[in-house]
Amino acid sequence: MSKTILLTGGAGFIGSHLVRRLLKETDHSVINADKLTYAGSTQSLIDVASNPRYQLEQVDIVNGTEVARLFQQYRPEWVFHLAAESHVDRSIDGPGEFIQTNIVGTYHLLHHALNHFNQLSLDQQDAFRFLHVSTDEVYGSLSMDATPFHEKTPYDPRSPYSASKASSDHLVRSWHATFGLPVFVTHCSNNYGPFQHPEKFVPVVILRALAGETIPVYGNGENIRDWLHVEDHARALHAVMSKGSVGETYNIGGNCELSNLALVRNICEILDQTRPVAHDQNLSAKGIQSYSELISFVTDRAGHDLRYAIDSSKIKQQLKWRPQETLADGLRKTVQWYLNHPDWCRAVMADTSNDATPGDALFLEPDRHQAGPGRATS
């Protein structure tokens, strides 16, 4: 049966992939609520902009009046909440925005979702769902030999970003326990793939290499991350919403742990094969034979978590989901996508604030979680 879906942060990286999936794989209607700041771009959704089942609403989720209007006007049956400030370094420089969007914005969504829910018939309440997309970073940092994060791992956030997401997770679960709102919470590992904002880790490496600029890596580059292709994440979110048990938490991982340095070297190797340095006169003139020679180590960030790893056995067993894209294939496709879409990169960066340039060492953290916000997207 066709549903009306409210999806926050749908103009961002993960959100745009989820929007496309829902429109392609279902007959549902999607209302995309996004503030369209620097990291949320309509350029990522040009292919669905004219779809009669798609509607963009430029809304800041911190604005409770506007959030209330969305529920009153569209009366959604499903809510995917991906809106968030999600860049760790930005949270260190300006934590206030993260408190507002990730905590206050989530409160407004929960408050008005509950008001909407309480006005529904019993049958409509049985069908209503609210899915909150979070991050594995709320669990803190793992040692190299520690067991991967599971759904019962105690929270130990270590940055303003992860602390704000942990706070919003607690709010969502409390609205279920106290008020009976039917919710899910998901935690995902590092996402990569097409349409990721040029400030993020994988695009930064690709774009700096192509520009012949140094590729800065924090510390010694040995920090470990688990990598998940964005399309696999979108499939997982759809599976949780469609088949998940209300009130449950699901971890979503790619089962692919790799050090940051190894990932950078893999990207450089792919670029060496697809866009050889020999074709770049400037690099050739400098005697550079491989993009990996552009790697440069920079001072580590404060509180940089050593390792993240996700145990996805619950969603695999209960919902029969598992990642379909290998890192080798997914990374190669991603590099090729950026090679084929320089216009998209230029258009997105034209909308980006002056301090957000793909060359800055500020933008070296892998994408923590998400699509991006009522305020800013990933």
Q: Mind telling me the catalytic residues?
A: 136-137, 161
- How far is residue 49 from each of residues 56, 103, 121, 351, measured CA to CA in Å? 8, 30, 33, 18
Measured CA to CA, the distance from residue 338 to residue 260 in angstroms comes to 19
Other CB atoms within 10 A of residue 61 CB = 29
Which of 110, 106, 169 has its CA nearest to residue 136? 169
Question: How is the beta sheet containing 54-57 ordered, strand by strand?
Answer: 54-57, 29-33, 4-8, 78-81, 129-135, 183-188, 249-252
- Here the tokens at position 188 are 């995902």
Which amino acid, one-letter code, is at 82?
L
- How far is residue 32 from each of residues 132, 139, 356, measured CA to CA in Å? 15, 29, 24
Answer for the pair 226, 254: CB distance below 8 angstroms, yes or no.
yes
Tell me the residue ranges of DSSP E strands in the chain.
4-8, 29-33, 54-57, 78-81, 129-135, 183-188, 190-192, 215-218, 224-229, 249-252, 257-259, 295-298
- Local structure of residue 307 (DSSP, 8 states): B
Other CB atoms within 10 A of residue 114 CB = 17
Give the burial class of 145: count Cβ atoms within 10 A of its Cβ; 0-12 exposed, 13-18 middle, 19 or more buried.
exposed
Which amino acid, one-letter code, is at 129?
R
Measured CA to CA, the distance from residue 175 to residue 24 in angstroms comes to 32
User: Torsion angle of alpha carbons 38, 42, 43, 45, nearest 10°?
Assistant: 130
